[in-house]
Amino acid sequence: MDAQKIKSKLVFTVTLVLILNQMVLGQAVPFISENWRIIDNENNQNLDFHTTTYKGENTLRLGRHKIARLEGKTYENFVLEVDIAGKAMPGIGFHASDLWDYEFLYCRVFSGGKTDALQYAPVYNGALPWQLYNAPNYETMAVFEPEEWFHLKIEVYGNLMRVFVGEDDEPEMEVALLQKEAEKGAIFLKTSFAEAYFANLRINRLDVPFSIRNEEKLQQFLTDWEISEQLQGNLYSQRQFYQWFNQAKEAHTWKVIKAAKNGIVNLAQYFDHPKESVFARTNIPASEAKKVTLAFDYTQVLLIVLNDQVLFFGRELDSDNFMRMMDGEQKIDLSLKKGDNTLVFWIRSDDEWQEANPRYLGRKQAMNWGFIAKVEE
């Protein structure tokens, strides 16, 4: 190889290094193959990297159910800006230790102008629990037009996030982040159910903290629970419940857990591969015998037992809010005895429903699996 070719190759290498350094320190993040790993979400296979032109912009195009992970850099406090065009649910994952545990913000482009246009959810073990985290804090309105460009800006500092759409000076969403395992990590782009285009991506370090307006009001939820190991199959009778529960009391290793400050128990958080169902139990002490109200909601199927008496069995079929879990949506009376009262939930995930949906990183699993409960005097 002659000297001129060596010099040209050296100049190209130095230029590439400078581009990569600029990328990881902030400013524009180029869509070049050296920066990105493209993954087919349905079968967990790496794909070739391609760019294209869409409506006047040089873009990264991701087909339906694809992921583009930005390689070689982790982010903690940052400002991310990007232009997006799509027609389904393009999103941004961040603070990702891997593609199983991360924070996730996505846009329901087909719901532009509605109260569920933007949604945030913490993802544990691959489960995107959109039914558990919803309006008014985790879903908000934003204006999108399907297949037209819109500008998205995300600010993250500590455990707080603000989201701006278009040229708005006021954030469409302000939220306290909930993924407790993730304080910093990788950033990735993701599509669901339809292709999307991404352009003009910029990431900068954020050095100035901010506060948010929508701090949630603390309530007296039932927070201290124990959960069994995962169970397989459906319950069809009270006799079957007592058999399963007695077996679980003797044979299972029970895990002590706490509901989040917002009262939500996200069961996918506690199992590497969230699947079907689990028992959850707690104690309600009472200084005297009395009646109280249990205000609750849940995903999919729930059986409630108090002091060995079955009180409730239901399937979540709420078409008004598309089976979203809402604080206090359902209520039943509890007759407490003086002393300790054992409250048991058998809670089924949406694994049956997910059979019709695409796989996540190549596997079938539950996505929405949890409950919220509080006692009202």
Instruction: For the chain, count helices (H), then strands (E).
Output: 3, 25
Domain that holds residue 157: 26-205
Query: Which residues on adjacent β-strands are paired with residue 305?
Result: 310, 344
Question: Domain check: are 235 and 309 in the same one?
Answer: yes
357 part of a folded domain = yes
Question: Domain check: are 181 and 247 in the same one?
Answer: no
Question: Domain check: are 124 and 244 in the same one?
Answer: no
Question: Domain check: are 69 and 160 in the same one?
Answer: yes
Question: Domain check: are 35 and 152 in the same one?
Answer: yes
**C-alpha torsion 174→178→183→189, nearest 10:** -70
Question: Domain check: are 175 and 244 in the same one?
Answer: no
Question: CA Rg, the chain, in Å?
Answer: 24
The rounded distance, in Å, linking the Cα atoms of 48 and 210 is 39
> Quick one: pLDDT at residue 26?
53
Please identify which residue in the block is written with the tokens 């500092």: 157
73 part of a folded domain = yes
Here the tokens at position 60 are 């990264």
Last residue of a domain, one of 205, 238, 271: 205
CATH code at 308? 2.60.120
The rounded distance, in Å, linking the Cα atoms of 132 and 371 is 8
The pTM of this model reads 0.90
Here the tokens at position 202 are 């910029």
Last residue of a domain, one of 152, 177, 205: 205
**How many Cα atoms within 13 Å fall on the side-chain side of residue 253?**
2
Question: Domain check: are 196 and 232 in the same one?
Answer: no
**How many Cα atoms within 13 Å fall on the side-chain side of residue 10?**
7
Question: Domain check: are 233 and 170 in the same one?
Answer: no
Alpha helices in 74-182 (DSSP H): none
Phi, psi for residue 345 in degrees, rounded to 5 = -110, 135
210 part of a folded domain = no
The rounded distance, in Å, linking the Cα atoms of 238 and 356 is 29
Report which of 283, 328, 359 is spatially closest to residue 127, judged by C-alpha positions: 359
Question: Domain check: are 245 and 170 in the same one?
Answer: no
CATH code at 93? 2.60.120.560
Query: What total number of domains does the chain contain?
Result: 2
Question: What are the distances in angstroms from CA 100 to CA 124, 156, 225, 274?
Answer: 6, 20, 24, 12
Last residue of a domain, one of 177, 205, 233: 205
116 part of a folded domain = yes
Question: Domain check: are 242 and 159 in the same one?
Answer: no
3 part of a folded domain = no
Question: Domain check: are 302 and 356 in the same one?
Answer: yes
Question: Domain check: are 241 and 372 in the same one?
Answer: yes
21 part of a folded domain = no
1 part of a folded domain = no
| Tens digit of each residue's pLDDT, the chain (377 residues) | 555 544 445 444 434 444 444 444 458 999 999 999 999 999 999 999 999 999 999 999 999 999 999 999 999 999 999 999 999 999 999 999 999 999 999 999 999 999 999 999 999 999 999 999 999 999 999 999 999 999 999 999 999 999 999 998 999 999 999 887 778 999 999 999 999 999 999 999 999 999 998 666 667 999 999 999 999 988 888 899 999 999 999 999 999 999 998 999 999 999 999 999 999 999 999 999 999 999 999 999 999 999 999 999 998 877 677 789 999 999 999 999 999 999 999 999 998 887 788 899 999 999 999 999 999 98
Here the tokens at position 283 are 């104690």
The rounded distance, in Å, linking the Cα atoms of 124 and 264 is 14
The rounded distance, in Å, linking the Cα atoms of 371 and 368 is 10
> Quick one: pLDDT at residue 18?
40
**Residue type at 79 in one-letter notation:** V
243 part of a folded domain = yes
Residues 191 and 100: beta-carbon distance below 8 Å: no
Residues 201 and 69: beta-carbon distance below 8 Å: no
Report which of 369, 351, 371, 348 is spatially closest to residue 360, judged by C-alpha positions: 351
